[in-house]
A and B are shown apart, each in its own frame.
Chain A
Amino acid sequence: MTLQHAQTLTKAAVLELAGIEKIYRTDSLETVALANINISIQQGEFVSIMGPSGSGKSTLLNVLGLLDAPSKGVMRLHGMDVTKLKENAIAQVRNQEIGFIFQSFHLVNDLRVLDNVEIPLLYRKGLSGSERKQLALEAVQQVGLSSRTKHFPSQLSGGQQQRVAIARAIVGKPKLLLADEPTGNLDSAMGDEIMNILHTLNREHGTTIAMVTHDERLAAQTDRTIRIFDGQQVA
């Protein structure tokens, strides 16, 4: 652990989960996806979430990112209880505070790289078109894709597409970055490139990152690992 990391850990928690449960109900079936999850993620931390398939780690990441509402429990983002917010307010919180990186990139194929990166800024009030463009260019530069701004996603390799997705995730300068198996669809060389970018964002920009992964090698590179088994937090 670096000195810088030691300092960040003393800062206030970015995310706090207390007694979180997620239950999926159908007419005849009740599935407990998460049970009694208590997590605190400090500012500047790089946390990995591990567990076997179906253990609930992606569900946990969705709850952390306000993509899915917990069935029970309290979740605080920067000390604010976000479980009671209405849809539009939650959308604003996601827009301002959280960036997402998905395993399958989820780029919009009809849009060029720069337009894809610009997406989060479209839903942020008070930004002009030229400001949006400038911020998007900076984000693209940060992931080393300045020469590909006018390409469409289909014209890029998998690694490049994931870098575009990272640029999109960081363009709004979120405090929390959530990555769902960001290297899962990439070969090891490209995966390492992506991990390097994430480490740079974490170390040099102080971005808090929570990453779901299957890969012990990648988890070992993070500050700590939260382990989930059958929807329960085991470590």
Chain B
Amino acid sequence: MLRNYLLLAWKVLLRRKFFTFISLVGISLTLATMLVVTAIIDYHANPPRPYTKQARMLFVKSVMGKSKDFTTINEPHYGFHDKYVRPLPGVEKFSIQTESTFITYPNGQKTTLTAKIVDGVFWEIFDFEFLEGAPFTEDDNQQRRMVAVVSEKTRQRYFGDASALGKSITLGSKTYRIVGVARDVASSLSVSGDVWYPVSIDLTPKDRTGVLDEGAGGFTSVILANNASDLPSIQAAFQAMLPTVKFASSNIEYMQAAAETNFGVQAQMFFGFDSEDKDYGKRDNATRLIALLMALTLGFMALPAINLVNVNVSRILERASEIGVRKAFGASSTALVGQFIVENLVLTIIGGAIGVLLAEAVLLWITSAGIFPNAVFHVNARVAVYALGMSAVFGLLSGVLPAWKMARLPIVQSLKGGINA
């Protein structure tokens, strides 16, 4: 029977090409929209390495400094993070980073390397996968040892397939001994780099004492809390700390900033920076972005979904006579509902598959356009399972009611043409 239903479903789809096209467009757009949102939510709910502890992380990136004459939005100095953020209550681990680029010539080839300049705790917060060796430690950082971790890609550029451990890499005027090789992560992630070395090596006294007003800082920090539930109290402590910040020059009178979740950082990047924004750092950007995503999702989904239900109702109404005939020849209501549900499921699953491809294309575009700068989105296996589930639910919801209504219709009425006959 099922084979027959499938065969009939296939025949109906092929025979009614226009209806099939309209339905597939509706279903695939609806599901693609749902999938894009699901993939973004899934990424944050189940972040991949090296962000697996993301639920306990807060990031301090750009801050806004206000003076009588100007507003500056910049990444602060090392001193701000070290003196004001590190001591906040509830912080389990704390790491400060900056970055730089170097032009190098491995094997005679000009190459630009992005160096991430980090402390030893960085490797305890972010769980990179190591292909060789191990990360440098906080002790290496404190002792300013000339050690480095390189990425898989850098190892390939410099040493081909050979081991990189114990070998040297020269960046600018300094040479570092390689202690570890980390598996490559997506280049759009803010922690991604070609090489990582200890932050203490390059720190100047100005970096150590500066806050925001002594030239560009360029440092960011990340907080790891004991529990995700501690994040709000740390964020509140961060806000309470801001008025206590002492600036070396008198130009800047006060600063506005936020310790944000990764999603919050992305939301801030998404909405952009505005030097006239009086609520900078105080607004819940994550909630704003979720609300916007939900509104967009509903907007994009509502029309195709309503359209699909309507198309389904008219498709089934149009087949009232067929229902009458099948019942006259012995089909039970249950068998008919089964037939229409199978037809709808076949349609929605094909639409779901197209939706997955569309969603993947949109996610690739979102990633490459940097709309959410610190994230790489994909329709992974988990999201694909959601897709299958959503397709099935969508198929059932849009098909069951009209199918059941029609299957319960008296035969004589069905044969006359349906509900309004």
Contact = CB atoms under 8 A, between A and B. Distances in A.
Contacts of B11: 110-111, 115
A62 B412 CA distance: 8
A65 interface: yes
Nearest to A99: B329
Interface stretch (B36-44, B119-127, B319-327): B319-327
Contacts of B332: 87-88, 91, 123
B412 A110 contact: no
A102 B415 contact: yes
Contacts of B412: 62, 67-68
Nearest to A119: B329
A70 to B, nearest CB: 13
The interface size bin for chain A is: 20 to 34
A109 B320 CA distance: 12
Interface in A119-155: 119-120, 122-124, 129
Contacts, number: 66
Contacts of B326: 119, 123
B324 A95 contact: no
B130 to A, nearest CB: 58
B410 interface: yes
A172 B1 CA distance: 17
A123 B335 contact: yes
Given A62-B412, A68-B412, A123-B329, A106 B15 contact: no
A110 B15 contact: yes
Contacts of B1: 122
Nearest to B333: A87
Given A68-B410, A68-B412, A129-B3, A108 B330 contact: no
Contact of B322 (A62, A67, A91, A108): A108
Nearest to B328: A100
Given A68-B412, A106-B415, A110-B12, A92 B330 contact: yes
Contacts of B8: 110-111, 115
A68 B12 CA distance: 29
Contacts of B12: 110
Contacts of A129: 3-4
Contact of B328 (A65, A108, A111, A124): A65
A115 B321 CA distance: 16
A91 B321 contact: no
Contacts of A87: 332-333
Given A68-B410, A122-B1, A129-B3, A100 B329 contact: yes
17 contacts: A67-B328, A87-B332, A91-B331, A95-B329, A96-B330, A100-B325, A100-B328, A100-B329, A106-B321, A106-B324, A106-B325, A107-B325, A119-B326, A120-B329, A122-B1, A123-B326, A129-B3
Interface of A: 62, 65, 67-68, 87-88, 91-92, 94-96, 100, 102, 106-111, 115, 119-120, 122-124, 129, 168, 172
Interface of B: 1, 3-4, 8, 11-12, 15-16, 321-322, 324-333, 335, 410-412, 415
Given A106-B325, A120-B330, 14 more contacts: A65-B328, A67-B412, A88-B332, A91-B332, A95-B329, A95-B330, A96-B330, A109-B15, A110-B11, A110-B12, A111-B11, A122-B4, A123-B330, A123-B331
